[in-house]
Amino acid sequence: MTNQDNKAQPLAGRIALVTGASRGIGAATAQALAADGAHVVLVARTVPDLEAVEDAIHAAGGSATIAPLDLTDGESIGRLAQAISGRWGALDILVLNAATLGTLAAVPAIDSREFARLLTLNIAAPQALIAAFDPMLRASKDARVVALTTGVAAANPRAYWGAYGASKAALEVLVAAYGQETRNVSAVRTHVVEPGATRTTMRARAYPGEDPATLKTPDVVGRAIADLVASDAPDGERLVLPK
């Protein structure tokens, strides 16, 4: 492979896993990683949407595999890790993108059942993924764990966003702690990405009166994430995209 090829596909030979890869930022990130040469495992619940993303990646000359599963089922995460470890020796990129917004409500009005479901997907599932794939991440020569966060987490809490913001604040702490635990004993580096206002279904739910044409598209975020994991960014690097 020539130097020019290396620049065109800086992630050639890498194995990536992206959650919430059936649409929005997850799909765009998967496509950007594949365009840079990574083989991408696409994780989400909806098979037709996953197949559409896989088809788009293949049409562009990339490589991907779909893995339909419900991330709130901890046993399914373990089975996925076992299947992937049986095919590849290492996992180089783990993008923790899947999340649910929940109902925007005052803290005393948060529905306890919905809150439990939100915490399961937004924080318990990422922890289960890190735990299941930790051996494969440590086996990589340059592993990256990327967590998607929000501007309304711990640093800038906002009224009525307590449930979602709290889950993302917890995710940031979880991923940062993992980075510190692995920093001196492996090649694992962790990053947090704050995408800012982006044209997604979740954004439309949160701001129904907003004109989507005024927002950046998910591919801008996907490209930024692909560039981040291909760079020499240090462990703990936080990427904040313009609004």
- Give CA–CA dist 228/239, Å, rounded: 8
Strand runs labelled E in the chain: 15-19, 39-44, 63-68, 93-96, 143-148, 188-194, 237-240
Structure tokens at 126: 């990422």
Q: Are 177 and 170 in contact (CB under 8 A)?
A: no
Residue type, 46: T
- Look at residues 55, 134, 147 and name the one whose alpha carbon lies nearest to residue 97: 147
What is the amino acid identity at position 109? Answer: A
Q: Which residues of 20-45 are buried (b: 16+ CB within 10 A; e: fewer)?
A: bbbbbbbbbbbbbbbbbbbbbbbbbe
40/82 Cα distance (integer angstroms)? 16
Which residue type, as a one-letter code, is found at position 171? Answer: L
**Token pair in block for residue 81:** 């890790």
- The Cβ-side half-sphere exposure at 101, using a 13 Å CA radius, reads 14
Tokens matching residue 83: 């299947």
φ/ψ (deg, to 5) at 42:
-95, 120
Active site (annotated) includes residue 164:
yes
State the catalytic residues.
164
